[in-house]
Structure 1
Amino acid sequence: MTAVKTLLEIPELRLRLRSGSAFLDREVTRIYGTELADPGRYLSAGELVLSGLLWWRAPGDAEPFVAALGQAGSAALAASGADSGGIPGDLVEACERHRIPLLEVPPDLSFAVVTERVVLALAADRRKLSAAADEPPETLLGIGAEELGVPCWLVSGSGRVVASAGPDLPAPRAFVERYALVREAFSDGAYAVRPIAGGAALPWLLVVKGETGPVGEELAVLIGAARARADRVNTTAGPLIAVLARATASEPELASAFGGTDLPADAELRVVIARAPGGLARELLADLVTGSAVFGERDGEAWAIVETAGAWPADWATGAAAAVSTVELLVTGSVRIGLSGATSLAGLRGAAQEARHAVDAARRGHPVVSAEELNVASLLVAGAPDELRATIRRRVLGPLLAHDEAQRGDLVHTVRTFLKCNGSPAQAAKELHVHVNTLRYRIAKAGELLGTDLTDFTSQVEIHLALLAE
């Protein structure tokens, strides 16, 4: 039996007893983390409740929280100070009133460590799963499914099934979307879902057909620890990325840096670049890129050099965009990905530039851009230095920009639409919802300001490039 006092004896946890010394013989059956102000509906008897006290704002807030623990028959509360201000006094008093042992967690100790150690203590009598603690996540999932007697799946934060111990999981992305709403373990009766501990930027979820119980809790912790141990991403691309980022690097330098990877010199290659908050970019690329690839990071971006072998999925960008929309439910900030066209080693530097321009072109609503989507003019303009592009834009469009700013007009938009419609006044007028004569007047006015004829092809090309320079 794992009692509350047993947890106080685990040296790695350094827990400090703040109240409830008379109730340390209570049996702990499971661990449950929450930041809800009133977690009553989610609590079960015998739980060690783990909380960072994010719900606590002022004296008096502790009473309803601790009352819910007492009513549910919780074994104890393990808490870390609210906003690093220490354990609030009213929390200690409320735990005394409701006969709840209060264990203070050191501020420098992560809850992932607490969860792992407590679950391992609870699982001491379940030898098969515990004995496999050093195995990879896929093996642990199979053993856990066998002990639970039900199918289990690991689902990444992008909605991809990482591992399966059962039939195909229906609509895996839906489980991530539901988890994004509650950010806690949940069950709908048919499936139970638990987040995997381990501190990764891209979370994994354990999905179980039915209920998980203590075995499911142990399984989630062990898989989290296994994921943290296993660095399965080949990060040998660092020197190669550094060479690709240098315009002055020589061909021998490129060949030497490429030779430091595991990719064959005659491979068909693509470059993928991702921008995302925190450490998410690299984990997301490793999740989305299949096949042989090497990874690295530079200037806050994650890179993947991928051997496509002619089998790169035609709908990869579409699938990646759907995955990004799911991931963005879980993170603060946007995710952007750029993909180059296929190339050989000789064209790898150009492919890296394509991927860079593609990720620059990505935006909300269109977060994954392939170089094939960018026209030649866009790529040529994007390759110019920022200062040169700004100078070109001011020189060519300056009078038009000044007019729009002074008159609060939108002649720039009119010209852009006119050019997009291949210089057709009727088509541009229809798109802008104005009469064709109005459109002709605006184009004549813009031409007068710019000192050029907007029906002349050469002038159109120059102005189009200047507009792209934005």
Structure 2
Amino acid sequence: MTVTIAQVLALPELNLRVCAGDRGLDNEVRWVHVSETIDPTPWLRGGELLLTTGLKIDDPEQFGPYVHRLADAGLAGLGFGVGLGYDQVPGPLIQAAEERGLPVLEVPVDAPYVAISEAVSNLLAAERYDTIARAFDAQQALTAAAVESGRGGLVAEVSRALGGWAVLTDLAANVVRAHPAAAADRLPALLPDVMRTRERGIRSSGSVVGPTESVAIHTLGARGRMRGFLIAGVPGAASDYSRMVLAGAVALLSLEMERSQAARQQIRRLRADQLAQVLRGAVTGEVAAQHALAWDLDPAAVRVGVYFCAASRGSQVCDELNELMAEANLPGAVVAQEAGRQARVAVLVDGSETAAAALARLASVRPMVPLGLGDVVPIEQVGLSYRAATHAAEVGRAERRPVTRFDDLEALHMLIRAQSPQALAGFVRRVLGPLKQHDQGREGTLLATLSTFLTHNGHWNETAAELGIHRHTLRARIDRIEQITGRDLDSAYGRMELWLALLADSAADTDDQPVPEQGTGRAGRGSGPEQDRK
């Protein structure tokens, strides 16, 4: 609802008479302004009802250009006072006003301008009160819809309150709800505007104004985290009422999405606990298959991915991975396992290349979180895929590449797959056993030095820089490692044996990871070889 020239004209106490510009009577009046200057346009913003007596205009022929200037400035209407400078509204003014469709109201000499200003102000106040009352009723209806029907009812109520359409999307601009259903078809054309709004961040909005409707785009979320978008179209121009309705809808939908997010977090923690047990082989194949089905996975073809990162980033990477999977509609489960200063984030997904490509997106961010991809296996053999993914991630971290597939590591594939776990454990004991025994109580100093040295391909400066020690200290440690292990680190074969032993030891640590505490989704710190080594 707006105040128009027709409404002002209809006020009986003002005795106004329209003498030109009938087709502009529906023009919206924003305010009343009084001016006797020949060119008042610098002080106009558009939408005013301008009151004048034309005292400054001596030549009636100047009224034509005068009216055109006012029309160009977006004036709503002109009130011309008679009985002072002019006994009647000048003919050139009426002619120009008819040409431009600008309403001209004749103001009698006994109608004070202040009375007109007060009358319009009262109309505007009443209109404002009506807008607030309607918006309050609409927000009550929105709240009831949220309580009774959740997101679907909210979106439908937004559409009804606006007399237009509404679409709710997730963060990737996938349609979650639309009312009416055909409103979903509007989204493709609006995607560029949605993405621009997303780039501006949380609590931003955008608008698209067309000849017959206005479209508003609002981000949804709270606590600095964007969750999705509300996109709504209203006939004609946006109004204070539509903006109030949308503000209430944004608040309610953001709250609903945050509550849904909290519920999803609970589900993710439960899945993390279950996945940790599946990866350890702590449940039967039948139970593992039931878990896979509950996670929308085919038990006959699953794959494990493992990300390596600092322990301080484990929870963050886990959350980012869950969000990435939600955006990509990728089913599965995620668990973060900490061991000393390192965290492994394991994810179980389907065996498709689509899933592998989605996981690779997170690995390529900065700082890089190397991803190892295991084999595609039935759920009963998921431990094999987990160990393979861990090996691949170790190699990827050493070679500073974001994604490494175990299938591409042919030599390692042949070695690991050809050996039983018992044989590999014996190999690790023979090669690294004395060094691990020496490092007990020393925070794994020599093992960490060896791993870093091999990771940097025996480059002294890079190794010393990463460890934060002097080259002479590094030299002393390498000499000590050679003495304890009996391997020559200047020898390619000696380095190969030590490197393979470190990889096999890492895989053995994977098998020894403890089950996360119930509801945490993260493994606790154990006392196995990995803990000693760190």
Could you tell me the TM-score, scaled by structure 2's length? 0.40
Q: Whose helix fraction is larger, Structure 1's or Structure 2's?
A: 2
Computing the radius of gyration over CA atoms, which structure comes out larger, 1 or 2? 2
